[in-house]
Chain A
Amino acid sequence: MRARRRSRAFHAQLVFTVLVAAFLVVPVLMSITAGLTVNFFQGVKSGLTLRWIGEVWRLYRDTITLSLMIAVACLAVDLVVGVPAAYVLAKARSRWTRLVEEALVLPIAVPGLATALALILAYGTWREFRTSWLFILVGHVLFTLPFMVRAVLAVLSSIDLRTLEEGAASLGASFWQRFTGVVLPNCRGGILAGALMVVTLSVGEFNMTWMLHTPLTKTLPVGLADSYASMRLEIGSAYTVVFFFMIIPLLIGIQLAARPRRMAGVGEESA
């Protein structure tokens, strides 16, 4: 009696979960099929083709490479700036560092458009900079840096950083040896998680980039908007397919790298 009641609830939940999942997955699948069918309005019976993908590659190849380049450069800057920043914030816990931490998050709280506008107001007249991809990179770094800092800071705050460093110092390790041999390896998980966020955010960032780009510095999402606005629906959808194929392996790869080390049979509490 009781088992049957539970199983009915189980089935109700299963149906609900499947419905919600379908609600989210169906548009994705439709988008992918749209990018692969000859004519979207006639449906799949009009035949499947890679023509639109080829078209996207021909028209928007530059936006894809530029996006990847910016994402990699953004990650590099965030690593070089963000990891040491997180280390300093973790070591010197004071009201002042709290303030810095909060200030770092502002670019997330402030709409991307506003940040972009501020950048244009301040540096827009500097032509070489304004028209260079570095202009977009600056915006992306502003936007993604807090994610890197927070991810690393979270890990550093969860380990007894001070004692670990003191232990290493007592054994004769210099500051640099401690930082590279003890601090960095122990916040590897945070760095990888931060890197995951930074790369995906940078590749997908639209709202600020849309303001910052020039016709010669279009990133992937800006190109996507462009293709939806000015091309056949199939090309826009094919663009989505390209985007998926780029971002998903990236996500899986970093996710795998960030997986915590598996722990084998932990010994019982004994001497």
Chain B
Amino acid sequence: MSEGGVAIRLERCGKTFDDGTRAVAPLDLEIAAGETIVLLGPSGCGKTTTLRMIAGLEAPDPGGRVRFGEVDVTEIPIERRNVGMVFQSYALFPNMTVADNVAYGLRVRRVEAGARAARLEEMLAMMKIGELRHRHVDQLSGGQKQRVALARALAVRPRVLLLDEPLTALDAKLRDVLRIEIDALLRRLGMTAVYVTHDQAEAMALGDRIVVMSHGAVEQVGRPREIYFTPANRFVVEFVGTMNRLRGVARDGYLEVAGGRVPWRHGVAGDVEVLFRPERAAVVEAGAGGLTGRVLTAFFLGDRTRLVVEGISDTPLIVETSARTEFKPGQEVHVAIDSDALLRLAR
């Protein structure tokens, strides 16, 4: 068995729990061998349940099939699916040392002692946790725990690595460090990986493709750029990144809003609502053709300032500027919006 992975196919996999609540509506999903796919959505969207169906911890409702490559694994329990799992709560065994945790999968598979020791060393070195080998789990920090959990999951050379919010319990800085490491690891091993998160930045950074889910249904599947630049619907728009809403009346080639007007090329006339990302707008000098609004609040972030501007549309807009000027609440500002960036959504 070599490192690398297997293609995964979910066919009409839905999940209804015993109490009748439907966690996931029947969905189809293909994951290529070696691909990292991220299931993204708010809590309760069914992303973890989907992961658990792939793992074999939940059986899909009748009719649903899970395939690893050509093999239908729907009826195969998790212990014989050969998957690696990493949990948000680490799930390390408190009764064992780090080394025993990492070697556990090899031991229950009755891997011969010599090969087991060699693989253990390899894993400890790969995750840089060699000096922790004799520690008990309760003597580790969160970041160390998750490294041990990764080493343990990878030690058995799984066909797919399943990660259920692995970084959620860590603080922000550590999350960045470990995210970069996990990314490098997945690229290097070329392993099929399914990663569940509610953090869209994490999803963007890690995923070859992202599956955005809400209320047990898939909203959009696509590469991070597609998800960000061409969101399929209102849910994706609101969940991924920050979006500004501009409401006004379109007439004579302009969209007229409370703070002025912008060129309008969508053709339709009348009351409309469009969306744009904050980075597609800029703060400009008075008289440079911008829309006029008033600063509601200003957050100085160091490299840039984030302004919440009211008076341009019916709801406040978020605009960022790298100007070194200090902005004060109540101050008048002028905002130019790239008219190509205006996005109209079908209902």
Contacts and interface: CB of A to CB of B under 8 A. Distances in A.
B139 A267 contact: yes
B156 interface: yes
B91 to A, nearest CB: 4
A1 B310 CA distance: 64
Greatest chain B CB density within 10 A among A163, A171, A181, A268 is at: A171
A163 B95 contact: no
Given A181-B108, A269-B142, A186 B79 contact: no
B138 interface: yes
A168 B156 CA distance: 12
Interface stretch (B81-89, B198-206, B241-249, B311-319): B81-89
Interface in B166-185: 171, 174, 177-178
A179 to B, nearest CB: 12
A121 B211 CA distance: 67
B105 interface: yes
A268 B142 CA distance: 10
Given A160-B91, A163-B87, A263-B138, A271 B78 contact: no
Contact of A168 (B93, B94, B142, B143): B93
Nearest to B78: A169
A174 B345 CA distance: 51
Nearest to B80: A172
Interface string B81-121: 01111010101111100000000110011000000000000
Contacts of B138: 263, 266
A269 B85 CA distance: 23
B156 A163 contact: no
Given A159-B94, A185-B95, A266-B138, A170 B78 contact: yes
B79 A268 contact: no
B79 A173 contact: yes
A172 B85 contact: no
B289 to A, nearest CB: 49
Given A171-B104, A172-B80, A164 B139 contact: no
Contacts of B174: 270-271
Chain B interface size, under 10 / 10 to 19 / 20 to 34 / 35 or more: 35 or more
B139 A170 contact: no
A166 interface: yes
B77 A167 contact: no
B268 interface: no
Q: Is the interface of B mostly helix, strand, loop or mixed?
A: mixed
A268 B57 CA distance: 34
Given A167-B87, A167-B91, A271-B178, A173 B139 contact: no
Contacts of A130: none
B141 A269 contact: yes
A185 to B, nearest CB: 4
Interface in A244-271: 261, 263-271
Most A CB contacts (10 A, CB to CB) among B55, B57, B93 go to: B93
Interface string A172-207: 111001000110011010000000000000000000
A166 B79 contact: no
Nearest to A160: B89
A261 B137 CA distance: 12
B93 A263 contact: no
Contacts of A271: 141, 143-144, 174, 177-178
Nearest to A174: B79
Nearest to A268: B141
A267 B141 contact: yes
A171 B177 contact: no
Contacts of A170: 55, 78-79, 83-85, 153, 162
Nearest to B84: A170
A268 to B, nearest CB: 7
Given A160-B89, A271-B178, A263 B139 contact: yes
Interface in A120-178: 159-160, 163-164, 166-174, 177
A212 B153 CA distance: 56
A261 B93 contact: no
A175 B142 CA distance: 28
Contacts of B95: 182, 185-186, 188
A-B CB proximity, top 4 nearest: A171-B105, A167-B91, A185-B95, A170-B85
Interface of B: 55, 57, 77-80, 82-85, 87, 89, 91-95, 104-105, 108-109, 135-136, 138-144, 152-153, 156, 162, 171, 174, 177-178
Given A170-B84, A173-B104, 17 more contacts: A160-B91, A164-B91, A166-B78, A167-B93, A170-B79, A171-B79, A171-B156, A172-B80, A172-B82, A172-B108, A174-B79, A181-B104, A185-B93, A261-B136, A263-B139, A269-B143, A270-B174
8 contacts: A169-B79, A170-B55, A171-B153, A177-B108, A181-B104, A269-B141, A269-B171, A270-B174
Interface of A: 159-160, 163-164, 166-174, 177, 181-182, 185-186, 188, 261, 263-271
